[in-house]
Amino acid sequence: MTARLPLALAAAATLAVPCAAHAAQRPNIVLMFPDNLGWGEVGVYGSVRGVPTPNIDRIAKEGIRLDNFNVEFSCTVSRAALLTGRYAIRSAATQPSGITQWEITIAELLRDAGYATALFGKWHLGGAKWIEGRSPVDQGFDEWYGIPMTSNEAQTTTSPGFDPSKTETPYIWEQRKGGPATKVKVFDLDSRRTVDREAAHKGIDFMERSTRAGQPFFLFYPITQIHFPTLAHPDFAGRTGAGDIGDAMADVDHNVGLILGSLEKLGVEKDTMVLWCTDNGAEGRRPWRGSPGPWRGFYNSVLEGGIRTPCVIRWPGRIPAGRISNEIVHEMDLFPTLAAAAGVTNLPTDRAIDGIDVLPFLEGRRERSGRESALFFSGAQVRAVKWNEWKLHYAFMPEPRVSEPPLMRLFNLRSDPREETDIKDVNPWALAVFDRIVAEYTASLERFPNVPANAKDPYRPAAAARQSREPGGVASGS
Protein backbone atom coordinates (compact mmCIF):
# COMPACT_ATOMS: atom_id res chain seq x y z
CA MET A 1 0.00 0.00 0.00
CA THR A 2 2.96 2.26 -0.56
CA ALA A 3 1.06 4.18 -3.22
CA ARG A 4 -1.92 4.62 -0.88
CA LEU A 5 -4.33 2.86 -3.20
CA PRO A 6 -7.24 0.89 -1.78
CA LEU A 7 -6.08 -2.63 -0.97
CA ALA A 8 -7.95 -4.37 -3.75
CA LEU A 9 -6.84 -1.89 -6.41
CA ALA A 10 -3.25 -1.93 -5.22
CA ALA A 11 -3.21 -5.71 -5.38
CA ALA A 12 -4.69 -5.73 -8.87
CA ALA A 13 -2.12 -3.22 -10.07
CA THR A 14 0.71 -5.30 -8.64
CA LEU A 15 -0.54 -8.52 -10.16
CA ALA A 16 -1.02 -7.01 -13.60
CA VAL A 17 2.75 -6.77 -14.10
CA PRO A 18 3.94 -9.60 -16.39
CA CYS A 19 6.57 -12.01 -15.12
CA ALA A 20 8.25 -12.54 -18.49
CA ALA A 21 11.70 -12.45 -16.93
CA HIS A 22 10.89 -15.58 -14.99
CA ALA A 23 8.60 -17.41 -17.39
CA ALA A 24 11.40 -19.39 -18.98
CA GLN A 25 12.76 -20.59 -15.65
CA ARG A 26 10.30 -22.56 -13.60
CA PRO A 27 11.97 -23.48 -10.34
CA ASN A 28 10.91 -26.34 -8.17
CA ILE A 29 9.33 -24.95 -5.00
CA VAL A 30 9.59 -26.50 -1.54
CA LEU A 31 7.56 -24.77 1.17
CA MET A 32 8.11 -26.09 4.72
CA PHE A 33 5.62 -24.77 7.26
CA PRO A 34 5.97 -25.90 10.90
CA ASP A 35 3.22 -25.28 13.43
CA ASN A 36 3.20 -22.87 16.40
CA LEU A 37 6.94 -22.37 16.30
CA GLY A 38 8.27 -19.09 17.67
CA TRP A 39 11.46 -17.12 17.15
CA GLY A 40 13.17 -18.41 20.26
CA GLU A 41 13.41 -22.01 19.04
CA VAL A 42 15.57 -21.44 15.94
CA GLY A 43 19.36 -21.18 16.04
CA VAL A 44 19.67 -18.37 13.51
CA TYR A 45 17.04 -16.40 15.46
CA GLY A 46 18.85 -16.91 18.80
CA SER A 47 17.66 -20.29 20.13
CA VAL A 48 16.95 -19.91 23.85
CA ARG A 49 17.28 -23.65 24.51
CA GLY A 50 20.62 -24.02 22.77
CA VAL A 51 19.33 -26.78 20.49
CA PRO A 52 21.28 -26.60 17.20
CA THR A 53 19.22 -26.16 14.02
CA PRO A 54 21.98 -26.35 11.37
CA ASN A 55 19.72 -27.22 8.46
CA ILE A 56 17.28 -24.37 9.03
CA ASP A 57 20.21 -22.05 9.66
CA ARG A 58 21.78 -23.19 6.38
CA ILE A 59 18.75 -21.93 4.44
CA ALA A 60 19.23 -18.51 6.05
CA LYS A 61 22.98 -18.52 5.40
CA GLU A 62 22.47 -19.41 1.74
CA GLY A 63 19.54 -17.04 1.28
CA ILE A 64 17.63 -14.42 3.25
CA ARG A 65 16.42 -14.22 6.84
CA LEU A 66 13.27 -12.17 7.29
CA ASP A 67 12.97 -10.56 10.71
CA ASN A 68 9.53 -9.04 10.12
CA PHE A 69 7.58 -11.93 8.60
CA ASN A 70 3.92 -11.78 9.61
CA VAL A 71 1.12 -14.34 9.74
CA GLU A 72 -2.47 -14.64 10.88
CA PHE A 73 -2.98 -15.48 14.49
CA SER A 74 -4.13 -19.12 14.42
CA CYS A 75 -3.73 -22.35 12.46
CA THR A 76 -6.65 -22.42 10.01
CA VAL A 77 -6.64 -18.72 9.17
CA SER A 78 -2.88 -18.75 8.67
CA ARG A 79 -3.06 -21.63 6.20
CA ALA A 80 -5.89 -19.97 4.31
CA ALA A 81 -3.95 -16.72 3.98
CA LEU A 82 -0.78 -18.52 2.91
CA LEU A 83 -2.42 -20.60 0.20
CA THR A 84 -4.87 -18.01 -1.20
CA GLY A 85 -2.96 -14.73 -0.83
CA ARG A 86 -5.99 -13.24 0.94
CA TYR A 87 -6.84 -12.23 4.47
CA ALA A 88 -8.59 -15.28 5.89
CA ILE A 89 -11.68 -13.25 6.74
CA ARG A 90 -12.24 -12.84 3.00
CA SER A 91 -12.52 -16.61 2.46
CA ALA A 92 -14.57 -17.24 5.64
CA ALA A 93 -11.76 -19.44 6.91
CA THR A 94 -12.44 -18.02 10.37
CA GLN A 95 -15.37 -20.45 10.47
CA PRO A 96 -15.02 -24.20 11.19
CA SER A 97 -16.07 -25.11 7.64
CA GLY A 98 -12.67 -24.27 6.14
CA ILE A 99 -12.49 -22.78 2.63
CA THR A 100 -14.82 -23.30 -0.31
CA GLN A 101 -13.75 -24.80 -3.61
CA TRP A 102 -14.22 -21.33 -5.10
CA GLU A 103 -10.97 -20.26 -3.46
CA ILE A 104 -7.91 -20.49 -5.70
CA THR A 105 -4.79 -21.79 -3.99
CA ILE A 106 -1.19 -21.45 -5.05
CA ALA A 107 -1.26 -25.20 -5.64
CA GLU A 108 -4.00 -24.74 -8.23
CA LEU A 109 -2.09 -22.01 -10.00
CA LEU A 110 1.08 -24.06 -10.11
CA ARG A 111 -0.64 -27.28 -11.14
CA ASP A 112 -2.33 -25.46 -14.03
CA ALA A 113 1.13 -24.18 -15.01
CA GLY A 114 2.44 -27.74 -15.33
CA TYR A 115 3.74 -28.40 -11.83
CA ALA A 116 3.36 -31.63 -9.93
CA THR A 117 1.88 -30.69 -6.56
CA ALA A 118 1.77 -32.51 -3.24
CA LEU A 119 1.01 -31.86 0.42
CA PHE A 120 2.44 -34.06 3.15
CA GLY A 121 1.61 -33.11 6.72
CA LYS A 122 -1.16 -31.02 8.28
CA TRP A 123 -4.09 -29.69 6.20
CA HIS A 124 -6.60 -28.06 8.62
CA LEU A 125 -8.55 -26.22 5.93
CA GLY A 126 -11.38 -28.59 5.19
CA GLY A 127 -13.64 -28.10 8.17
CA ALA A 128 -15.36 -30.87 10.07
CA LYS A 129 -16.54 -32.47 6.81
CA TRP A 130 -13.33 -31.96 4.91
CA ILE A 131 -13.66 -35.27 3.08
CA GLU A 132 -16.79 -34.04 1.27
CA GLY A 133 -15.04 -32.00 -1.40
CA ARG A 134 -12.63 -30.08 0.81
CA SER A 135 -9.50 -32.19 0.96
CA PRO A 136 -6.14 -30.97 -0.38
CA VAL A 137 -6.83 -32.79 -3.66
CA ASP A 138 -9.89 -30.58 -4.09
CA GLN A 139 -7.67 -27.50 -3.73
CA GLY A 140 -4.95 -28.18 -6.27
CA PHE A 141 -2.76 -30.92 -4.80
CA ASP A 142 -2.19 -34.05 -6.88
CA GLU A 143 -1.59 -36.11 -3.76
CA TRP A 144 -1.46 -35.79 -0.02
CA TYR A 145 -0.73 -37.70 3.16
CA GLY A 146 -1.26 -36.54 6.71
CA ILE A 147 -3.79 -35.25 9.17
CA PRO A 148 -6.88 -33.37 7.99
CA MET A 149 -7.30 -31.41 11.21
CA THR A 150 -4.79 -30.65 13.96
CA SER A 151 -2.19 -32.29 16.19
CA ASN A 152 -4.08 -32.24 19.49
CA GLU A 153 -6.51 -34.78 18.04
CA ALA A 154 -3.74 -37.30 18.78
CA GLN A 155 -4.85 -37.10 22.41
CA THR A 156 -8.37 -38.27 21.61
CA THR A 157 -7.97 -42.03 21.98
CA THR A 158 -6.18 -41.70 25.35
CA SER A 159 -8.62 -39.18 26.80
CA PRO A 160 -10.49 -40.39 29.91
CA GLY A 161 -13.75 -42.03 28.96
CA PHE A 162 -13.00 -42.19 25.23
CA ASP A 163 -15.71 -44.21 23.50
CA PRO A 164 -15.20 -44.76 19.73
CA SER A 165 -18.94 -45.31 19.33
CA LYS A 166 -19.56 -41.75 20.54
CA THR A 167 -16.39 -39.89 19.55
CA GLU A 168 -14.87 -40.16 16.09
CA THR A 169 -11.41 -41.72 16.06
CA PRO A 170 -8.85 -39.49 14.31
CA TYR A 171 -6.84 -40.98 11.45
CA ILE A 172 -3.92 -40.21 9.21
CA TRP A 173 -5.25 -40.13 5.64
CA GLU A 174 -3.91 -40.26 2.11
CA GLN A 175 -5.35 -39.47 -1.30
CA ARG A 176 -4.38 -39.03 -4.93
CA LYS A 177 -6.11 -36.95 -7.57
CA GLY A 178 -9.02 -38.85 -9.04
CA GLY A 179 -9.23 -41.28 -6.13
CA PRO A 180 -10.92 -41.43 -2.74
CA ALA A 181 -9.36 -40.39 0.54
CA THR A 182 -8.49 -43.45 2.59
CA LYS A 183 -7.59 -44.04 6.21
CA VAL A 184 -3.99 -45.13 6.77
CA LYS A 185 -3.82 -45.58 10.53
CA VAL A 186 -5.11 -44.16 13.77
CA PHE A 187 -3.66 -40.79 14.70
CA ASP A 188 -2.68 -41.23 18.33
CA LEU A 189 0.22 -40.30 20.60
CA ASP A 190 2.49 -42.87 18.94
CA SER A 191 1.77 -41.88 15.33
CA ARG A 192 1.90 -38.23 16.37
CA ARG A 193 5.63 -38.77 16.99
CA THR A 194 6.30 -40.23 13.55
CA VAL A 195 3.94 -38.44 11.15
CA ASP A 196 6.41 -35.65 10.25
CA ARG A 197 9.19 -38.12 9.43
CA GLU A 198 6.80 -40.14 7.30
CA ALA A 199 5.66 -36.97 5.54
CA ALA A 200 9.27 -35.98 4.86
CA HIS A 201 10.04 -39.36 3.27
CA LYS A 202 6.90 -39.14 1.18
CA GLY A 203 7.97 -35.67 0.10
CA ILE A 204 11.35 -37.03 -0.94
CA ASP A 205 9.72 -39.80 -2.94
CA PHE A 206 7.48 -37.21 -4.62
CA MET A 207 10.48 -35.05 -5.56
CA GLU A 208 12.31 -38.08 -6.95
CA ARG A 209 9.34 -39.11 -9.08
CA SER A 210 8.82 -35.58 -10.38
CA THR A 211 12.49 -35.14 -11.20
CA ARG A 212 12.59 -38.43 -13.10
CA ALA A 213 9.54 -37.29 -15.06
CA GLY A 214 11.18 -33.97 -15.88
CA GLN A 215 8.31 -32.08 -14.24
CA PRO A 216 8.75 -29.06 -11.95
CA PHE A 217 7.29 -29.71 -8.53
CA PHE A 218 5.64 -27.86 -5.68
CA LEU A 219 6.11 -29.66 -2.37
CA PHE A 220 4.12 -28.26 0.53
CA TYR A 221 5.40 -29.80 3.77
CA PRO A 222 3.22 -28.43 6.61
CA ILE A 223 5.03 -29.91 9.63
CA THR A 224 2.88 -30.79 12.64
CA GLN A 225 5.55 -29.85 15.22
CA ILE A 226 5.76 -28.11 17.58
CA HIS A 227 2.00 -27.87 18.16
CA PHE A 228 0.89 -29.61 21.34
CA PRO A 229 1.20 -32.44 22.24
CA THR A 230 4.85 -31.72 21.45
CA LEU A 231 6.22 -35.25 21.25
CA ALA A 232 9.32 -35.86 19.15
CA HIS A 233 10.16 -38.83 16.94
CA PRO A 234 11.59 -41.73 19.02
CA ASP A 235 15.01 -40.98 17.50
CA PHE A 236 15.03 -37.64 19.34
CA ALA A 237 12.86 -38.22 22.42
CA GLY A 238 14.96 -37.27 25.45
CA ARG A 239 18.02 -36.67 23.30
CA THR A 240 18.66 -32.92 23.65
CA GLY A 241 18.24 -32.43 27.38
CA ALA A 242 16.06 -29.41 26.56
CA GLY A 243 12.70 -31.06 27.16
CA ASP A 244 9.99 -31.99 24.69
CA ILE A 245 10.25 -28.69 22.81
CA GLY A 246 14.01 -29.05 22.40
CA ASP A 247 13.65 -32.64 21.24
CA ALA A 248 10.94 -31.62 18.79
CA MET A 249 13.14 -28.86 17.36
CA ALA A 250 15.96 -31.33 16.77
CA ASP A 251 13.41 -33.56 15.05
CA VAL A 252 12.15 -30.69 12.88
CA ASP A 253 15.66 -29.70 11.83
CA HIS A 254 16.56 -33.31 11.04
CA ASN A 255 13.56 -33.60 8.72
CA VAL A 256 14.48 -30.32 7.05
CA GLY A 257 17.93 -31.80 6.48
CA LEU A 258 16.39 -34.85 4.81
CA ILE A 259 14.59 -32.60 2.33
CA LEU A 260 17.66 -30.47 1.63
CA GLY A 261 19.85 -33.55 1.25
CA SER A 262 17.44 -35.03 -1.26
CA LEU A 263 17.51 -31.87 -3.38
CA GLU A 264 21.29 -32.04 -3.43
CA LYS A 265 21.30 -35.75 -4.28
CA LEU A 266 18.83 -35.21 -7.12
CA GLY A 267 21.00 -32.43 -8.54
CA VAL A 268 18.18 -29.88 -8.44
CA GLU A 269 19.40 -27.79 -5.51
CA LYS A 270 20.18 -24.77 -7.68
CA ASP A 271 16.87 -25.12 -9.49
CA THR A 272 14.75 -25.10 -6.34
CA MET A 273 13.32 -22.28 -4.26
CA VAL A 274 13.18 -23.40 -0.61
CA LEU A 275 11.07 -21.60 1.98
CA TRP A 276 10.88 -22.39 5.68
CA CYS A 277 8.41 -20.30 7.66
CA THR A 278 6.01 -20.94 10.51
CA ASP A 279 2.24 -20.59 10.67
CA ASN A 280 1.92 -18.93 14.08
CA GLY A 281 4.01 -17.72 16.95
CA ALA A 282 5.11 -19.78 19.91
CA GLU A 283 3.02 -22.60 21.33
CA GLY A 284 1.36 -21.31 24.48
CA ARG A 285 0.03 -24.38 26.27
CA ARG A 286 1.94 -25.82 29.19
CA PRO A 287 3.88 -28.03 29.59
CA TRP A 288 4.75 -27.37 25.94
CA ARG A 289 5.10 -23.59 26.10
CA GLY A 290 7.43 -22.34 23.38
CA SER A 291 9.53 -19.20 23.17
CA PRO A 292 8.62 -16.06 21.20
CA GLY A 293 12.20 -14.83 21.48
CA PRO A 294 12.38 -11.05 22.01
CA TRP A 295 8.66 -10.57 21.45
CA ARG A 296 5.70 -10.72 23.80
CA GLY A 297 2.77 -13.12 23.42
CA PHE A 298 1.93 -16.48 21.92
CA TYR A 299 -0.20 -17.75 19.05
CA ASN A 300 -3.91 -16.96 19.29
CA SER A 301 -2.97 -13.39 20.12
CA VAL A 302 -2.00 -10.53 17.81
CA LEU A 303 0.96 -9.49 19.91
CA GLU A 304 4.22 -9.76 17.97
CA GLY A 305 4.96 -13.10 19.63
CA GLY A 306 1.80 -14.46 18.03
CA ILE A 307 2.09 -13.04 14.53
CA ARG A 308 5.81 -12.37 13.85
CA THR A 309 7.45 -15.68 13.00
CA PRO A 310 10.71 -17.05 11.58
CA CYS A 311 11.08 -17.15 7.81
CA VAL A 312 14.14 -18.09 5.76
CA ILE A 313 14.21 -18.41 1.97
CA ARG A 314 16.85 -19.78 -0.40
CA TRP A 315 17.09 -19.81 -4.18
CA PRO A 316 20.72 -20.22 -5.30
CA GLY A 317 21.75 -17.75 -7.95
CA ARG A 318 18.54 -15.73 -7.57
CA ILE A 319 18.33 -14.73 -3.91
CA PRO A 320 21.64 -13.30 -2.64
CA ALA A 321 23.12 -15.24 0.26
CA GLY A 322 23.49 -14.00 3.80
CA ARG A 323 20.95 -11.19 3.77
CA ILE A 324 18.94 -10.16 6.83
CA SER A 325 15.96 -7.82 6.49
CA ASN A 326 13.46 -6.12 8.79
CA GLU A 327 11.16 -5.23 5.89
CA ILE A 328 7.51 -6.15 6.48
CA VAL A 329 6.50 -9.28 4.58
CA HIS A 330 3.23 -11.16 5.12
CA GLU A 331 2.54 -14.81 4.44
CA MET A 332 -0.12 -13.68 1.93
CA ASP A 333 2.71 -12.28 -0.18
CA LEU A 334 3.96 -15.78 -0.93
CA PHE A 335 0.95 -16.42 -3.21
CA PRO A 336 1.87 -13.83 -5.88
CA THR A 337 5.58 -14.22 -5.17
CA LEU A 338 5.66 -17.95 -5.86
CA ALA A 339 3.44 -17.41 -8.88
CA ALA A 340 5.91 -14.83 -10.19
CA ALA A 341 8.84 -17.16 -9.58
CA ALA A 342 7.05 -19.80 -11.67
CA GLY A 343 6.18 -17.34 -14.45
CA VAL A 344 2.46 -17.48 -13.74
CA THR A 345 0.74 -14.26 -14.80
CA ASN A 346 -2.96 -15.20 -14.96
CA LEU A 347 -3.78 -14.53 -11.33
CA PRO A 348 -7.35 -14.06 -10.13
CA THR A 349 -9.02 -10.74 -10.91
CA ASP A 350 -12.50 -11.66 -9.67
CA ARG A 351 -11.57 -11.32 -5.99
CA ALA A 352 -9.38 -9.24 -3.72
CA ILE A 353 -5.79 -10.43 -3.53
CA ASP A 354 -4.06 -8.90 -0.53
CA GLY A 355 -0.62 -10.38 -1.15
CA ILE A 356 2.00 -8.49 -3.13
CA ASP A 357 4.85 -9.85 -5.21
CA VAL A 358 8.01 -9.49 -3.12
CA LEU A 359 10.24 -11.46 -5.49
CA PRO A 360 12.14 -8.36 -6.71
CA PHE A 361 12.88 -7.54 -3.06
CA LEU A 362 14.01 -11.08 -2.26
CA GLU A 363 16.29 -11.06 -5.27
CA GLY A 364 17.81 -7.73 -4.27
CA ARG A 365 16.42 -5.90 -7.29
CA ARG A 366 14.28 -3.72 -5.04
CA GLU A 367 15.37 -2.27 -1.69
CA ARG A 368 11.95 -2.34 -0.05
CA SER A 369 9.48 -5.22 0.18
CA GLY A 370 6.67 -3.02 -1.08
CA ARG A 371 4.51 -3.66 1.98
CA GLU A 372 4.02 -0.89 4.50
CA SER A 373 1.15 -2.29 6.50
CA ALA A 374 -0.85 -5.35 7.49
CA LEU A 375 -4.11 -5.98 9.31
CA PHE A 376 -4.53 -8.55 12.05
CA PHE A 377 -7.93 -10.06 12.75
CA SER A 378 -9.52 -12.08 15.50
CA GLY A 379 -12.65 -13.58 14.03
CA ALA A 380 -14.24 -10.80 11.98
CA GLN A 381 -12.74 -7.99 14.06
CA VAL A 382 -9.66 -5.98 13.17
CA ARG A 383 -7.65 -6.32 16.35
CA ALA A 384 -4.45 -4.56 15.32
CA VAL A 385 -2.71 -2.90 12.39
CA LYS A 386 1.01 -2.58 11.67
CA TRP A 387 2.33 0.36 9.67
CA ASN A 388 6.08 0.57 9.21
CA GLU A 389 7.52 0.38 12.74
CA TRP A 390 4.23 1.40 14.37
CA LYS A 391 1.43 -0.83 15.63
CA LEU A 392 -2.04 0.14 16.84
CA HIS A 393 -4.15 -2.29 18.83
CA TYR A 394 -7.84 -1.50 18.48
CA ALA A 395 -8.62 -4.19 21.06
CA PHE A 396 -5.56 -5.11 23.09
CA MET A 397 -5.31 -8.73 24.29
CA PRO A 398 -2.41 -9.58 26.62
CA GLU A 399 -3.45 -13.24 26.40
CA PRO A 400 -5.81 -15.09 24.03
CA ARG A 401 -9.44 -14.18 24.78
CA VAL A 402 -8.35 -11.81 27.55
CA SER A 403 -8.76 -8.05 27.23
CA GLU A 404 -7.87 -5.21 29.55
CA PRO A 405 -8.24 -1.45 29.49
CA PRO A 406 -7.24 0.62 27.73
CA LEU A 407 -8.28 -1.41 24.69
CA MET A 408 -6.72 0.97 22.16
CA ARG A 409 -2.93 1.10 22.46
CA LEU A 410 -0.17 2.39 20.21
CA PHE A 411 3.39 1.07 20.20
CA ASN A 412 6.57 1.78 18.32
CA LEU A 413 8.03 -1.66 17.66
CA ARG A 414 11.57 -0.38 17.19
CA SER A 415 11.79 1.31 20.58
CA ASP A 416 9.29 -0.97 22.37
CA PRO A 417 9.43 -4.42 20.75
CA ARG A 418 7.56 -6.06 23.65
CA GLU A 419 4.54 -3.74 23.27
CA GLU A 420 4.58 -2.55 26.87
CA THR A 421 4.25 1.25 26.76
CA ASP A 422 1.15 2.81 25.21
CA ILE A 423 2.11 6.06 23.46
CA LYS A 424 -1.09 6.97 21.61
CA ASP A 425 -1.74 10.06 23.77
CA VAL A 426 1.55 11.64 22.70
CA ASN A 427 1.04 10.69 19.03
CA PRO A 428 -2.44 12.04 18.19
CA TRP A 429 -1.72 11.85 14.45
CA ALA A 430 -1.53 8.06 14.48
CA LEU A 431 -5.20 7.13 14.72
CA ALA A 432 -6.02 8.84 11.42
CA VAL A 433 -3.26 6.88 9.67
CA PHE A 434 -4.42 3.52 10.98
CA ASP A 435 -8.10 4.28 10.42
CA ARG A 436 -7.28 5.06 6.78
CA ILE A 437 -5.61 1.66 6.36
CA VAL A 438 -8.67 -0.08 7.80
CA ALA A 439 -10.91 2.06 5.59
CA GLU A 440 -9.03 0.86 2.51
CA TYR A 441 -9.81 -2.72 3.46
CA THR A 442 -13.44 -1.84 4.20
CA ALA A 443 -13.81 -0.08 0.86
CA SER A 444 -12.55 -3.17 -0.95
CA LEU A 445 -15.49 -5.14 0.46
CA GLU A 446 -17.90 -3.15 -1.69
CA ARG A 447 -16.33 -4.58 -4.82
CA PHE A 448 -15.33 -7.94 -3.37
CA PRO A 449 -17.60 -8.97 -0.47
CA ASN A 450 -16.24 -11.58 1.90
CA VAL A 451 -17.37 -15.17 1.43
CA PRO A 452 -20.27 -15.69 3.86
CA ALA A 453 -19.65 -17.69 7.00
CA ASN A 454 -20.09 -21.46 6.56
CA ALA A 455 -20.68 -21.09 2.81
CA LYS A 456 -21.50 -24.33 1.03
CA ASP A 457 -20.07 -25.68 -2.20
CA PRO A 458 -20.60 -24.87 -4.98
CA TYR A 459 -20.17 -21.25 -3.91
CA ARG A 460 -20.45 -18.38 -6.38
CA PRO A 461 -20.11 -14.70 -5.50
CA ALA A 462 -23.38 -12.84 -5.71
CA ALA A 463 -21.86 -10.17 -7.97
CA ALA A 464 -20.81 -12.43 -10.86
CA ALA A 465 -20.57 -16.05 -11.87
CA ARG A 466 -17.15 -17.66 -11.91
CA GLN A 467 -15.42 -17.56 -15.29
CA SER A 468 -13.05 -20.12 -16.72
CA ARG A 469 -9.37 -19.29 -16.52
CA GLU A 470 -7.85 -18.25 -19.81
CA PRO A 471 -4.31 -16.98 -20.38
CA GLY A 472 -4.32 -13.39 -19.20
CA GLY A 473 -7.94 -13.64 -18.13
CA VAL A 474 -10.00 -14.27 -15.01
CA ALA A 475 -8.99 -17.26 -12.92
CA SER A 476 -11.03 -20.20 -11.77
CA GLY A 477 -10.36 -23.08 -9.46
CA SER A 478 -10.40 -26.80 -10.00
Q: Tell me: the pLDDT tens digits for 244-274?
A: 999 999 999 999 999 999 999 999 999 999 9
Cα 347 vs. chain centroid, distance in angstroms? 19
Say if CB 278 and CB 36 are below 8 A apart: yes
pLDDT band at 131 (very low <50, low <70, confident <90, very high): low
Q: What is the pLDDT of residue 463?
A: 60
pLDDT tens string 83-110: 999 999 999 998 777 899 999 999 999 9
Residue 472 is predicted with a pLDDT of 37
Instruction: Express each pLDDT in 21-43 by its tens digit.
Output: 333 479 999 999 999 999 999 99
Question: At residue 446, what is the residue type?
Answer: E
pLDDT score, position 14: 39
pLDDT digits (tens, 9 = 90+) for 345-361: 989 999 999 999 999 99
- Looking at residue 9, what is its pLDDT? 38
Please state which of the ranges 46-50, 130-134, 268-272, 424-428 shows the lowest mean pLDDT: 130-134
Q: 347 with 15: CB under 8 angstroms?
A: yes
Q: Just list the catalytic residues.
A: 75, 124
pLDDT for 475: 35
Task: Using pLDDT thresholds of 50, 70 and 90, give the confidence band for residue 454.
Answer: confident
Lowest mean pLDDT among 132-136, 173-177, 179-183, 371-375: 132-136
Q: Please check the confidence at residue 433 and state whether its pLDDT lies above 80.
A: yes
pLDDT score for 36: 96
179: pLDDT strictly greater than 50? yes
Write down the domain spans for the chain.
Answer: 18-157+169-371, 374-447
Place 465 in a pLDDT band, splitting at 50, 70 and 90: very low
Query: What's the pLDDT score for residue 129?
Result: 57
Mean pLDDT in residue range 5-18: 39
Alpha-carbon distance of 184 to 179, in angstroms, equals 14
| Superfamily name and number for 18-157+169-371 | Alkaline Phosphatase, subunit A (3.40.720.10)
> What is the pLDDT confidence band of residue 218, given thresholds at 50, 70 and 90?
very high
Percent of the chain residues past pLDDT 90, beyond the cut: 82
Amino acid letter, residue 438? V
What average pLDDT does range 284-305 have in this prediction? 93
CATH of 374-447, one of 1.20.1250.20, 1.10.357.20, 3.40.50.2000, 3.30.1120.10: 3.30.1120.10
Q: How crowded is the C-beta side of 219, counted as CA atoms within 13 Å?
A: 31
Mean pLDDT calculated for residue range 424-443: 97
Whole-model pTM above 0.85? Answer: yes
Most confident range (mean pLDDT) of 50-59, 295-304, 455-464 is 50-59
**If phi over 0 gives left and psi between -120 and 50 gives alpha, with beta otherwise, what is residue 476?**
beta
Give residue 130's pLDDT band: very low, low, confident or very high (50, 70, 90): low
- Which pLDDT value is given to residue 99? 93
How does residue 462 score in pLDDT terms, banded at 50, 70 and 90? confident
**What's the angle, vertex CA 247, arms to CA 325 and CA 261, rounded to 5?**
60
At 118 the pLDDT is 98
pLDDT score at 203: 98
Query: Which pLDDT does position 7 carry in this prediction?
Result: 42
Q: What is the pLDDT of residue 373?
A: 98
Is residue 12 scored above 50 in pLDDT?
no
pLDDT for residue 403 is more than 90: no
| Apex 407 CA angle, 403 and 413, nearest 5 | 100
pLDDT, mean over the chain: 90
